[in-house]
Chain A
Amino acid sequence: MTSRAGSDRYAPVSLVAWSVFIEALRRKDFYVLLIMGALFAAGVIIARVSGTMTEATGVFLLNLGMSISFLFAAILAAVMSVRMMPGELEQRTIHPLLAKPVSRAQVIFGKWIATSASSSAAMLVLFLIVYLPVPKNGSLSFFLLLQAIILKIVALGLLGAIGMLFSLIMPRALNLVLLAFIYTLSGTVSTFLRAKAMRSSLQDVWLWLIRYIPNFDLMDLTKRFTDGAPPLAGPQFIGILAYGIVATIFALAISCRIFERKAL
């Protein structure tokens, strides 16, 4: 009985997620990124065949390839999350959807699942395309690679959740710019503000407040991996994972709250 109730609750979520996923495939964003990833892989293969590949070049290309695949996946997550809700609201397709036995929270959750799953799948495909042709040296840790991928999936989930939250309160273009800023520069901005705060008499208060800025650099282990560093210690990894998950749940919960109160 409980299991039936549970599946009833999640069926609409999976339906919403599936429809978003189909829409993502129809829009062909993923294919564009796939072609760009393939071009990079072709370049690497040519370099290998032409004999210009050294171990150092391999490390460089591995770093570049991983950064490209992670960046492309983030672009996909940002673009999908930014346009989903405004699109539904502008075209009024949200009305027939909500006429069905689907709650607003389920709509948000379903769309977020689709965004996260699509961008994570894209990231894994792109990652394999760029990772496989690059020569790897023996000092790279497979366990750290696994940690890097898991944290990147969490980062994509967080990016999608923030994108959906912003899409309910601001125009698409502004949302996209803000997301790009947060994803690429939040770490640098935090460092800058921390340096400023260290000169202030209210240092501790400022440092505490600065840590509320979503920090995607925490979830990026690319350089650590390609530098041949050891895996993160258990508590560090779990801490970062917990930070990403809590921030994602918080952004989703606020999104649900705003959407439930939004006049359609």
Chain B
Amino acid sequence: MKTATAILMMSGALMIASPALVSRLHPQRYDSGGGNEIARAAIQNRGAIGFIFGQVRTSVSDMMFMKTELYLHSGVRYEPHIDVEALESGGNVEAVKKKFPDGVITGGDHDEHDHHEAPATIIPPADKDFRGFIGDLEREIKPWRPPGSPDVHTAGEELLPWYRMMTLADPNSIRGYMIGAWWLMRDQTEKNDREALTYLDEGVANNPDSFQLWLMKGRAHQRLKQTDEALKAWDTARKLAIERRPEGGKVTDDWTDYMEDDFRAAISAQVFTLRDLGRIDEAVHVARETLKTIPEFEPLQKFVHEVKEGKFTTKQ
């Protein structure tokens, strides 16, 4: 009896202290060879069985992401065609994937004409539907638009709960945080900017190694005129990207064009904000340090050159 009581007391004391231990345990934080979840999902979906399983793919988070596509198109079901990376990087819902004859899918904009095909609807048009009356009925009673007709996108606010659910289901869903934050910041109101910042703070806490989240966090701070915090966030983004970037910025499954663009955006944001604040020495220091990794980056070369020529002076 005494032993049982002692065990209860001891385990109770340890349980009371357990949150201190739990807060340091993060088994789901890891770098699985780059962490580009879109590339991983694309590889996964190339498999026949992955395709057959359809929506039961990698996780609940993916299912919710597909829901956002459906909402975005007012309920009209299209074959997946949105360029998710463009959406992540710049909040661009108009960007679509291009399909080349060999089946390779890459990013692009609606206005690019080369190889671009209109996204097909899941419910086929009448001339391609063998079902006759049943097909007509389905097109009448379900949200449907003829393929090739202009894309109509709903307001992003309707999608926000899905992005929130995505990140709740999978706190490592970086794209959930990025796209959700883009939609929040789209309105350009201080309230929504603060909301986006809180959302990104959570994303950064759950994914501290994602340089793109740090970049966005910097942007949110900048919009709220919190310049020092913005500079710190961009500095973190730049350093994380330097660690991760393959030599020469070579595009791979784990380092895409968009990631390279975001890396350059982080550098530019940090250096040129420092320049505009008159903190030229700091700006030059960051620029020179970064040029060791990316010597071909012209805006930085030009800036360093202009400083040498005495075009900029440090403000007191």
Q: Which residues of A contact B (CB under 8 A)?
A: 47, 52-54, 56-57, 59-61, 63, 105, 139, 188, 191-192, 194-195, 198-199, 207-209, 211-212, 215, 217-218, 221, 223-224, 227-230, 232, 236, 239-240, 242-243, 246-247, 249-250, 253-254, 256-257, 260
Contacts and interface: CB of A to CB of B under 8 A. Distances in A.
A191 B43 CA distance: 28
Main secondary structure of the interface of B (DSSP, over half): helix
A240 B50 contact: no
B33 A192 contact: no
B14 interface: yes
B229 to A, nearest CB: 16
A247 B16 CA distance: 10
Contacts of A218: 22, 25, 27
Interface in B43-98: 43-50, 53, 57-59
A247 B15 contact: yes
Given A217-B28, A253-B12, A60 B44 contact: yes
Interface stretch (B3-11, B117-125, B210-218): B3-11
B66 to A, nearest CB: 16
Given A211-B23, A236-B26, A236-B27, A56 B11 contact: no
A146 B7 CA distance: 29
Nearest to B31: A229
A188 B48 contact: no
B50 A211 contact: no
A249 B49 contact: no
Contact of A249 (B7, B28, B44, B48): B7
B29 to A, nearest CB: 9
Contacts, number: 118
29 contacts: A52-B47, A56-B45, A56-B46, A57-B49, A57-B50, A60-B49, A188-B169, A191-B168, A198-B198, A198-B201, A198-B202, A208-B19, A211-B22, A212-B18, A215-B22, A217-B28, A223-B28, A227-B30, A228-B32, A230-B30, A239-B21, A243-B22, A243-B25, A247-B18, A250-B12, A253-B8, A257-B4, A260-B1, A260-B4
Interface of B: 1, 4, 7-8, 11-12, 14-15, 18-19, 21-28, 30-33, 40, 43-50, 53, 57-59, 167-169, 171, 198, 201-202, 205-206
B244 to A, nearest CB: 16
B19 A211 contact: yes
A227 B48 CA distance: 19
Contacts of A192: 168
Contact of B168 (A59, A188, A246): A188
Nearest to B57: A60
Closest 5 CB pairs of A and B: A57-B47, A211-B19, A227-B32, A253-B8, A229-B30
A224 B30 contact: yes
A207 B15 contact: no
B18 A243 contact: yes
B13 to A, nearest CB: 10
A246 B11 contact: yes
Contacts of B206: 191
A250 B31 contact: no
Contacts of B28: 217, 223-224
A208 B169 CA distance: 21
A253 B11 contact: yes
Contacts of B33: 139, 228
A56 B50 CA distance: 8
Contacts of B40: 227
A60 B47 contact: yes
Nearest to A246: B14
A242 B50 contact: no
Contacts of B24: 239
Given A191-B168, A228-B33, A257-B4, A236 B25 contact: yes
Nearest to A232: B27
Contacts of B25: 218, 236, 239-240, 243
